[in-house]
């Protein structure tokens, strides 16, 4: 027998043995990272029911800033239905800063009467009538970031007002609050919402200043981990880097929030937006669209409405994916185990040159042997790839465009 034949036979036998005796592979629940310290026994009770998977929707801030009014919100609600965004899972329509102007004599918050003449209750009814859920913005300090009246000292009356209007989601900011204790303030807000008696998602927006991943689980369902996103590749890379380290804190009912999406706002290339969206999905991030949904290009729709990528984000196992290989020159391989035993793998190219990236099954917890691979952007099965853990050539290869991503789903087995 020739040496190569002996080698091949030996590899085959060893590979087959590995397949038989390998531990359960990628996606096994045993691979989910342990919850953060404060979520372990004795930690806060996490109400999973409000956000079992990362919240999805639309928020006005990234595109419209303070230019919000009821006409825009109604049109956006219509667009969420007409474009298929709602059907794809984007269900919260959230008005960010600048909807509020004053408090009346009883301390009740008032919406801008010029911009919202029909009032928030009527607007919430309209949004609900479209099958969507309705969200508003406030701040734990005395004023919002745009200088509007905020909730400090008015937590109960605001929570009760929101409940009366039919609010389903509240984003609570951190401007003018640096002398306050975030844990105390956001817990106060959570308790006020509970007393108001309506299930309302609490989106903590404290920008990661006081390590919210250590105290926010059980207080809010999601918490911002960084300062504001911008519509640029530099911003996306910087946020991915910061958010990547926090994967242990995330899980059903408790999500790291690397900020809202910029897809479709014009500042990045198609590949960059695809990488932005893919990484948000791999990191189990909330998916809040931040572009004008009334006039999306085909390219923007192709990204925001990619069901196979959304499925990765919304996977019920609720594990935030993490970096498994980090090449110094800008190539990263990310892995997110999924509930059905498969896993999502993203090959991310942060550099400005095309890169070849590789992964071995052993590096992502897949048993040695065959596995089926699907490309989630090409929407194409790539067939069965076998990595028996032997020759280097058995690794899975991806050619990744500059500032781009290849996103695949791997199912162990033939």
Task: Quote the CA–CA distance of 20 and 11 in Å, as a whole number.
Answer: 14
CB of 220 to ligand GLA, least distance (A): 14
Q: Which is nearer to ligand GLA, 64 or 334 (CB)?
A: 64
145 binds ligand GLA (CB under 6 A): yes
CB of 350 to ligand GLA, least distance (A): 24
**How far lies 187's CA from each of 169, 192, 250, 313, 347, in Å?**
16, 8, 19, 27, 39
92 binds ligand GLA (CB under 6 A): no
Catalytic-residue membership of 173: yes
CB of 210 to ligand GLA, least distance (A): 14
The site string for ligand GLA over 181-220 (x = CB under 6 A, - otherwise) reads ------------------------x-x-------------
CB of 230 to ligand GLA, least distance (A): 11
Q: Which helix (H) or strand (E) holds 407?
A: strand 404-412
Catalytic residue among 112, 125, 156, 228: 228
The site string for ligand GLA over 41-80 (x = CB under 6 A, - otherwise) reads --------------------x-------------------
- The pair of three-digit structure tokens given for residue 120, joined into one six-digit string: 């928030």
Q: Which is nearer to ligand GLA, 149 or 367 (CB)?
A: 149
Three-state DSSP state, 254: strand
**Count of residues interacting with ligand GLA (CB under 6 A):** 11
Task: Quote the CA–CA distance of 368 and 16 in Å, as a whole number.
Answer: 8
Catalytic residue among 69, 96, 97, 173: 173
How do 396-400 and 355-359 pair as beta strands? antiparallel
Q: Which is nearer to ligand GLA, 210 or 386 (CB)?
A: 210
**How far lies 15's CA from each of 10, 83, 351, 383, 391, in Å?**
8, 48, 35, 19, 11
What is the separation of C-alpha 367 from the centre of its chain, rounded to a whole number of angstroms?
28
Helices (H), 290-383: 298-304, 307-313
Of 74, 379, 405, 66, the residue nearest 269 (C-alpha): 405
Q: Which is nearer to ligand GLA, 61 or 273 (CB)?
A: 61
Q: Which is nearer to ligand GLA, 137 or 152 (CB)?
A: 137
Of 114, 196, 116, 119, the residue nearest 151 (C-alpha): 196
Segment contacting ligand GLA by CB under 6 A, of 128-136, 138-146, 151-159, 335-343: 138-146
Residue nearest to ligand GLA (CB): 145
What is the separation of C-alpha 69 from the centre of its chain, rounded to a whole number of angstroms?
27
Which string of b and e fits 18-55 if b means at least 16 CB within 10 Å? bbeebeebbbeeebbeebbeebeeeeeebeeebbebbb
272 binds ligand GLA (CB under 6 A): no
The residue whose two tokens read 């014009």 is 266
CB of 52 to ligand GLA, least distance (A): 24
Check: CB of residue 352 under 8 Å from CB of residue 345.
no
Segment contacting ligand GLA by CB under 6 A, of 76-84, 140-148, 268-276, 403-411: 140-148
For residue 199, the tally of other CB atoms under 10 A from its CB is: 13
CB of 146 to ligand GLA, least distance (A): 4
| DSSP structural state of residue 33 | P
State which of residues 14, 110, 146, 324 lies at the interface with ligand GLA (CB under 6 A): 146
Task: Quote the CA–CA distance of 243 and 320 in Å, as a whole number.
Answer: 10
CB of 188 to ligand GLA, least distance (A): 20
The site string for ligand GLA over 96-135 (x = CB under 6 A, - otherwise) reads xx--------------------------------------
CB of 97 to ligand GLA, least distance (A): 4
Catalytic-residue membership of 259: no
Q: What is the contact surface with ligand GLA in residues (CB under 6 A)?
A: 61, 96-97, 137, 144-146, 173, 205, 207, 228
Query: Which residues are designated catalytic?
Result: 173, 228
């Amino acid at each position: 027998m020739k040496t190569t034949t002996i080698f091949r036979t030996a590899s085959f036998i060893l590979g087959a043995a590995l397949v038989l005796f390998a531990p359960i592979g990628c996606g096994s629940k045993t691979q989910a990272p342990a919850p953060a310290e404060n979520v372990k026994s004795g930690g806060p009770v996490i109400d999973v029911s409000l956000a079992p998977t990362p919240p999805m929707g639309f928020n006005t801030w990234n595109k419209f800033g303070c230019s919000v009014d009821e006409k825009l919100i109604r049109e956006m609600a219509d667009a969420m239905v007409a474009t298929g965004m709602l059907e794809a899972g984007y269900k919260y329509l959230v008005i960010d800063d600048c909807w509020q102007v004053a408090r009346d004599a009883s301390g009740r918050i008032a919406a801008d009467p010029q911009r919202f003449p029909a009032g928030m209750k009527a607007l919430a009814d309209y949004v609900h009538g479209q099958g969507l859920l309705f969200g508003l913005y406030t701040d734990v300090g005395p004023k919002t970031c745009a200088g509007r009246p905020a909730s400090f000292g008015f937590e109960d009356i605001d929570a009760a007002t929101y409940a009366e209007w039919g609010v389903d989601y509240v984003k609570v900011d951190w401007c003018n609050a640096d002398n306050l204790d975030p844990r105390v303030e956001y817990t106060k807000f959570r308790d006020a919402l509970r007393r108001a008696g309506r299930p309302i998602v609490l989106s903590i927006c404290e920008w990661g200043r006081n390590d919210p991943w250590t105290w926010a689980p059980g207080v809010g369902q999601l918490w911002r981990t960084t300062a504001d996103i911008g519509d640029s590749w530099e911003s996306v890379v910087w946020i991915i880097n910061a958010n990547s380290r926090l994967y242990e804190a995330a899980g059903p009912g408790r999500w790291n929030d690397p900020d809202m999406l910029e897809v479709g706002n014009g500042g990045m290339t198609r590949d960059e937006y695809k990488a932005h969206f893919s990484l948000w999905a791999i990191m189990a991030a909330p998916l809040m669209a931040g572009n004008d949904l009334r006039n999306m290009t085909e390219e923007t729709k192709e990204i925001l409405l990619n069901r196979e990528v959304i499925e990765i984000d919304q996977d019920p196992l609720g594990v935030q994916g993490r970096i498994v290989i980090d090449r110094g020159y800008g190539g990263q391989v990310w892995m997110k185990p999924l509930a059905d035993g498969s896993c999502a793998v993203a090959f991310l190219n942060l550099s400005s040159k095309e890169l070849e990236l590789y992964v071995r099954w052993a590096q992502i917890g897949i048993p040695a042997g065959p596995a089926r691979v699907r490309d989630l952007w090409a929407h194409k099965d790539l067939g069965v790839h076998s990595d028996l853990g032997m020759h280097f050539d058995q690794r899975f290869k991806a050619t990744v465009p500059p500032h781009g991503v290849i996103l695949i789903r791997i199912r162990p087995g033939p």
